[in-house]
Amino acid sequence: MVSSTKETGTPRRLLVTGGAGFIGSNFVHYWCDRYPEDRVVVLDALTYAGNRANLAALENRENFQFVSGNICDRALIDRLLATENIDTVAHFAAESHVDRSILTPDAFVQTNVVGTFTLLEAFRQRWESVLKPSNESHALFLHVSTDEVYGSLSATDPAFTETTSYTPNSPYSASKAGSDHLVRAYHHTYGVPTIITNCSNNYGPYQFPEKLIPLMCINMLLGKPLPVYGDGQNVRDWLYVVDHCTALDVVIHQSQPGETYNVGGNNEVKNIDLVQMLCQLMDELAPQLPVHPANKLITFVKDRPGHDRRYAIDATKIKTQLGWTPSVTVEQGLRKTVEWYLDRRDWWKPLLSEEYQNYYRQNYDI
């Protein structure tokens, strides 16, 4: 289903922004393992959600390089594109947590809008001066975005398609919508080979503890309350992060510049049902929990301001055009994820810093 760069005889040279974050690090692991002939350069500012430990297993790979830096640093971007002879940018770097965007929206505008603009300008210059004149056929700027740009759905609304109007409802989704529009404009105005993907809620290994699934897993292990917003009836489509990586692989190798693809897991679940599923898995896999059964810890808290009711992805386009479908059900993915967090206490315990604890208390008031 996915063509290999070995078949074309032309290895890629990728710059992966945000490659020490959750989705980015999973993508880097996937790509380095699947395409060892490709060069992968990770650029990450190592803010609170970026973790160098996510990439520890790759540090000695010849095809891998880590660079600490900010995507708003134009001089650094220009230097990396030139010295590493980059032909493909996989852009994951973003401030991505809705709750934090409500508390500190300025960081989201700076990283998600200004940072994406900085990358686009640098790549446009390289495209016009180097890649296009040399007929670099697989040059690409892949922009990884979110389904939240489309706004909220009612229980009976059809799922989001690639032609759904943008109606962002949080500073986070608004900043991602702005970056999407910039990427699209750079293709249509300058001919830069860009692709946009809009994915549903990802989950899996290396996800920072503030997000719903790792938050629930870790709080159960610590015997702390499990905060659920409002009535818990908000619906999300859940996509296992490795499935997302396979989708991006297909998009990079098989799609045409200028396209947009929705990537979903076909797993719509109410938040309260998801938390109950996690509780059942924890009861089974970690029988020595401080509180048993774990669902005794469920605590309903004040709803998030502007909380979108439902997201749902229609991934028909990527299925019909590129042959991609998710392979992991939410039941399978949650079990894999719970097992990972049980096995990797060494990874998540250091992340529960004083800054994280302060954010937690400020956001949930429990």
DSSP 166-195: P---SHHHHHHHHHHHHHHHHHHHH---EE
Which one of the listed residues 35, 172, 206, 261 is annotated catalytic? 172
In this prediction the pTM is: 0.95
Is residue 4 predicted with pLDDT exceeding 60? no
Residue 246: both structure tokens together:
């396979």
If you compute the radius of gyration of the chain from its CA atoms, what whole number of angstroms results?
Answer: 20
**Closest to 304 measured CA to CA, from 94, 100, 22:** 100
Contact by Cβ (8 Å): 104, 111 = no
Poorest-pLDDT segment among 71-75, 77-81, 169-173, 250-254:
169-173
Mean pLDDT of 276-303: 97
* 148 in active site: yes
Inform me whether the pLDDT recorded for 275 exceeds 80.
yes
Candidate list 148, 180, 243, 249, residue with the active-site label: 148
Residues 132-136 have a mean pLDDT of 94
Among this protein's residues, is 237 annotated catalytic? no
* Predicted confidence (pLDDT) per residue in 11-60, tens digit: 999 999 999 999 999 999 999 999 999 999 999 999 888 999 999 999 99
Q: Taking all residues of the chain, what is their mean pLDDT, rounded to a whole number?
A: 94
pLDDT on residue 101: 78
Q: Tell which CATH architecture fits domain 11-204+241-264+307-326.
A: 3-Layer(aba) Sandwich (3.40)
Domain residue ranges of the chain, discontinuous segments joined by +: 11-204+241-264+307-326
User: Is residue 147 among the annotated active site residues?
Assistant: yes
